[in-house]
Structure 1
Amino acid sequence: MDTKTTVRAITVVILFILSGMGPGIYAQSTADKVDAFIKTEMRTRSIPGLQMAVIQHGQIVKTGNYGLANVEFSVPVTDSTVFSINSITKAFTGVAIMQLVEEGKVNIEAPVSQYLDSLPLAWQKVTIRQLMGHVSGLPDVTDTLTDELVSKKGEDSAWVKVKSLPLFFLPGERFNYNTTNYLLLGKIIDKLSGQPFVRFIQHKQLEVANMRQTTFGNSFDVTPKKAPTYTYYHRNDKGEFVKQHHLMQTYEEFPAFLLTDAGMFSTARELARWIMALQQGMLLKDKKSIHTMWTPVRLNNGTLDGFGGILNGYALGWPVVDRPRHPALAPIGGGRASLFIYPQDDVSIIILTNLTGCSPESLVEGMAKYYFN
């Protein structure tokens, strides 16, 4: 073999080796950068524990567990640690309603009075879409300051009282995040599915996506491998929440008739399975159903409204980041859990933490840049 032939042969071998190593090197580099980013942010935000998963091109490409699930007993976060996902539950409710739409049982443009009897006259023209997008104007069955029911006598009493209250505004005029909307959606699901909401979700979504650890409940429930929820905000003598320097456990109770609104516990890996099941047509058969569910609800004047900041719209159970580049569906729960789907980028990111008020949406956005092409 002459010198030129030898050089060519060696070059071919080197290129072959490098071509095989390239994606691995890139993937490892990305994983290392993501790990470093998360650890830095956890220190900056004083987050005790965090769990994450990334889906890219239909596959889970990274999962991670960081810090402590339980600070008191120094229990580390693992793949099986269960976190409260709070209002991310609404996205499951959105899927449930669209499943009933596919079964021909619900029309989201129909008034709520078509499905529920004995509603106040002022409520009867509110549409299912307006309920799902929080633009109904209905009075809230929970007190926005305390998160407690408007009546201390229980669920039935609160239901009676809220029906006696005036509208906040005419349907479609404004966005107002409101528990009553999802209370009504729960009643519709119970009635039209022929089974309780929780059972409907278990049968039609959790079992389909193989989500064996995902449950409904309260902070007080004893659930295997569940992480407590912590906060740095303490109520002072005036009843105001003030940030302090020491952690405190928080406890949340979700009444049974409001489980459409909040009250789910899950893991990042199981939520990733749920997203993939949704995208693969296992939960909703028609792609048009997903498009409808993810389309932001517009106000009467044609504009969008939402929580503010990047969350500038709200679809059918799904907060929306409406922008030309990297738009996203962005359910957030309890100021500690976040699930972003970036349809244009074919990337989804789940971050679950045990610290209320840590702005998980900004964590996701910071992490996403490592996966955008």
Structure 2
Amino acid sequence: MRERHIPGLQIVVVKKQKVVLSKAFGVASLQYGVPVTDASVFSINSATKSFTGVAVMQLVEQGKLELQAPAAHYLPDLPAEWQAVTVAQLLAHTSGLPDILDQRTSGLIAGSPEASWKAVQKLPMEFAPGQRFSYNQTNYLLLGKIIDRLSGEPFLQFIQRKQFDAVGMPNTSFGDSLDIIKNKANSYRLAGDGTTLKNVIEDFTPSMRTGAGINSSAQELAKWIVALQQGRLLKPASLGQLWQPSVYSDGKPAPWAMGWPAIRRGEHRAVAGIGGGRSAFYVYPDDDLAIIILSNLAGGQPEQLIDTVAGYYVPALRKINGGGYALYRLREQFGAASFDNIDQKLRQVTEKYAVSAPSDGALNGWGYRLLAQRQTKSAIAVLALAAQRYPDSANAHDSLAEAYEADSAKELAIRHYRRSLELNPGNQQAIDRLKLLE
């Protein structure tokens, strides 16, 4: 918190569907010195999309909606170019639709919601549906319209009734800086000098609140995650669909599931809700682990801390996400710079600091984080180093193949999937990908 200048923070860890850690730190209001408590609520910004994903799956269970159906089936007045976009593509940000938000200002493209809705429908598609990933808010605006139409009530009420009330989340609500929200932690941002904190005014247009706008506490989010895991909000099969990573139209894996970023940490998959660079929750389904970290600093990036915390509860994740001093020093060599000569730089680090080289798991974890950030070339450099230093590691070759596939280097992907399969004939990931690629 000191290094990142985070004023206030909550953390909750859920293991085997029970809270095993719950802490509150710092202040909710710098102006008045109000401490953060378990009852404090924080804006979760775009992590709201995870709740929208659940709402959509609840409509699927009711037989009112199909994920692979065109959104136009439920909203017939959409522009002709939008007619082929599916509900699943809206959830996974692979629709190709133009964004209703101006990326330069983060405001609506034409001022008012009504004018912006008219304007966005006249803009060209960014790409053919399912072709690639592009995060935008038009997707979730449409999902809100679909929920309104199929549920028979405004999506705000549907989510309140079917999730907040169903779980018992009395302090969780929709709202922004114009609303009076009990126990709300003030939001801050670092000024240009990197140390001075400034107030943040949150403005979440009501029609856009399927994409951002929920305020909650770490404890209430933990209750919600446990309710999901226990089948109280969705059936197990629906939860599996919700958390299944989506694919592009060519069969390659895409970075999001249905409203949740899909994250792979070696053999340890995770799904997440991440919002505003200030709030995040990760669920590791196969490890029966969930971690929630909420803060009141926009840009504090608490999601970067979650994997480290996870390592204390699942030792294998510590190996993947850690890496020790050598990896720390190696990362220092790059930053945003080119990853050329990474093997030479690793030798220099190990000699200079008299330390062992990072493990294959540590390099693998770093490579995956770069891949998740869409730094594909850098990820390939790191994962190729892992495969070079650990040539008998099936996981290293599998990960490198995945990176090559993301870079459309089909032959290289096939080569390393094959090598991974030679080393580990039971690698189902390699088997499945080779079926699609060959």
Pairwise TM-score range, normalised by the shorter structure: 0.7 to 0.9
Q: Which residue number corresponds to residue 377 of structure 2? A: none
Instruction: Give the distance between the partners of 1:115 and 1:243, measured in 2 at CA.
Output: 49
Structure 1 stretches of at least 4 aligned residues deviating more than 3 Å after TM superposition:
none
Determine whether 1:177 maps to 2:135: yes
Query: Which letter does structure 2 place at the counterpart of 1:302?
Result: G
2:336 corresponds in structure 1 to none
Larger Rg: 1
Report which of the two has the higher share of helix: 2
Assess if the C-alpha contact under 8 Å between 1:55 and 1:347 holds in 2. yes
Check conservation: 2:64, 2:150, Cα contact below 8 A: yes
2-side partners of 1:141 and 1:158: how far apart?
Answer: 6
Q: Which residue of 1 aligns with 2:147?
A: 189
> Structure 1: 5+ residue runs without aligned partners?
1-41, 234-241, 306-312
Partner of 2:271: 329
The offset of 1:371, in angstroms, is 0.8
- CA deviations over 1:213-272 (Å, ceiling 9, x no partner): 001011232211101111103xxxxxxxx4532100111211111010000000000000
Q: Secondary structure at the match of 1:271?
A: helix
CA distance in 2, matches of 1:338, 1:219: 20
The equivalent residue for 1:28 is none
Q: Is the 8 A contact 2:222 2:292 kept in 1?
A: yes
| Residue pair 2:5, 2:195 contacting (<8 A) in 1 also | no
TM score, norm. by length of structure 1: 0.83
The yes-or-no answer on 1:207 pairing with 2:152 is no
Secondary structure of residue in 2 paired with 1:245? coil
CA positional deviation for 1:59: 0.6
- Per the alignment, residue 275 of structure 1 pairs with 225
C-alpha separation in 2, matches of 1:207 and 1:243? 43
Paired letter, 1:292: Q
Query: Aligned with 1:275: secondary structure?
Result: helix
Q: CA offset at residue 339 of structure 1?
A: 0.4
**Higher strand proportion, which one?**
1
Tell me whether 1:251 sits opposite 2:213 in the alignment.
Answer: no
- SS of the equivalent of 1:99 reads helix
Which among 292, 314, 318 is matched to residue 260 of structure 2?
Answer: 318
Q: 1:134 — aligned with what?
A: 93
Give 1:360's match in structure 2, choosing from 302, 317, 320.
Answer: 302
AA paired with 2:289?
V
- Given the alignment, which residue of 214, 222, 229 partners 2:187? 229
Residue aligned with 1:109, SS: coil
2:67 corresponds, among 81, 85, 108, to 108
Q: How many equivalent pairs are there? A: 315
The answer to whether the 8 Å contact 1:337/1:351 transfers is yes
Q: For residue 4 of structure 2, what is the aligned residue in structure 1?
A: 45
- Per the alignment, residue 116 of structure 2 pairs with 158
Residue 104 (structure 2) aligns with: 145
CA deviation profile, 1:191-225 (whole Å, cap 9, x unmatched): 00000001000110001110000010112322111
Equivalent residue letter for 1:149: L
C-alpha separation between the residues in 2 aligned to 1:323 and 1:347?
A: 14
Q: 1:243 and 1:345, CA in 2 relative to 1: closer, same or farther beyond 3 A?
A: farther
Shift of 1:330: 1.3
Q: CA deviation at 1:326?
A: 2.3
- 217-226 vs 94-103, greater mean Cα deviation: 217-226
TM-score under structure 2 normalisation? 0.71
Which one-letter code corresponds to 1:293 in the other structure? Answer: L
What is the SS of the residue equivalent to 2:268?
coil
Q: Deviations over 1:64-111 (max 9, x none)?
A: 000111111111100100100011110000000000000000000000
Which structure would you say has the larger RCO, counting Cα contacts within 8 Å and 6 or more residues apart?
A: 1
Distance 1:348 1:144 in 2: 32
Mapped partners of 2:163, 2:38: distance in 1: 21
Residue pair 1:55, 1:348 contacting (<8 A) in 2 also: yes
Name the residue aligned to 2:415.
Answer: none
Equivalent of 1:299 in 244, 248, 261: 248
